[in-house]
């Protein structure tokens, strides 16, 4: 069994860093999924249709359908991106010290993390569209989704990651071998 070292050989990209970043992307995907769970529960149990809706129940309101459907799509995309990035890490692991496979894994993880972060933040916001003003009640603690997503995002700047991915795809510029990659 091969051991994983947190400190790679000089100049060699670490798969440990890619895995750690993938873990954070997984956290963001989980936040998006939890926002969906809470949105469905709230729509089914507590929410009312908006005042001018033709629906008599929130579960029949097209506006609520859209919000829940968008949260579901974002959670699905985030989870799929995380799984695809995990496959890239697996391929790099199988390739041993192949620097190209490790770079591709780092780039795929960065893409997954960008998408998962965007999905978590937007899903947490959309949860309030499902519930309206009553969803802001402290008893529901729905704001935790946005706070948690924002906290993880602040430690892993997604726009910088997107720029690094873009530079790699456009110019072949290698992502950094330390820190967030």
Q: Classify 14 as helix, strand or coil.
A: coil
CA distance 113 to 108: 9
Domain 15-171: CATH class, spelled out: mainly alpha
Q: What is the pLDDT of residue 49?
A: 80
> Which of 117, 61, 107, 62 is CA-nearest to residue 84?
107
Q: Give me the residues of the chain with pLDDT under 70, please.
A: 1-11
Tell if the pTM clears 0.85, that is, is over it. Answer: yes
- Token representation of residue 176: 């950094």
CA distance 135 to 98: 50
Q: What is the pLDDT of residue 1?
A: 47
> Which of 60, 79, 73, 68 is CA-nearest to residue 135?
68
Percent of the chain with pLDDT over 70: 94
Q: What is the pLDDT of residue 10?
A: 60
CA distance 21 to 181: 7
CA distance 26 to 78: 8
């Amino acid at each position: 069994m091969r051991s994983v070292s947190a400190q790679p050989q000089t100049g060699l990209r670490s798969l440990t860093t890619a895995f750690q970043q993938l873990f954070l992307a997984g956290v963001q995907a989980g936040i998006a999924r939890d926002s969906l769970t809470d949105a469905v529960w709230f729509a089914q149990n507590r929410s009312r249709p908006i005042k001018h809706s033709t629906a008599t129940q929130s579960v029949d309101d097209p506006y609520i359908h859209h919000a829940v459907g968008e949260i579901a799509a974002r959670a699905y995309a985030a989870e799929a991106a995380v799984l695809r990035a995990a496959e890239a890490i697996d391929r790099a692991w199988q390739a041993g010290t192949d620097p190209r496979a490790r770079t591709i894994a780092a780039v795929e993880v960065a893409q997954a993390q960008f998408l998962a972060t965007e999905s978590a933040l937007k899903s947490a916001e959309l949860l309030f569209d499902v519930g309206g003003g009553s969803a802001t009640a402290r008893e529901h603690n729905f704001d935790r989704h946005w706070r948690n997503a924002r906290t993880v995002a602040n430690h892993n700047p997604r726009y910088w990651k997107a720029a690094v991915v873009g530079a790699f795809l456009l110019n072949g510029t290698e992502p950094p071998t330390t820190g967030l990659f």
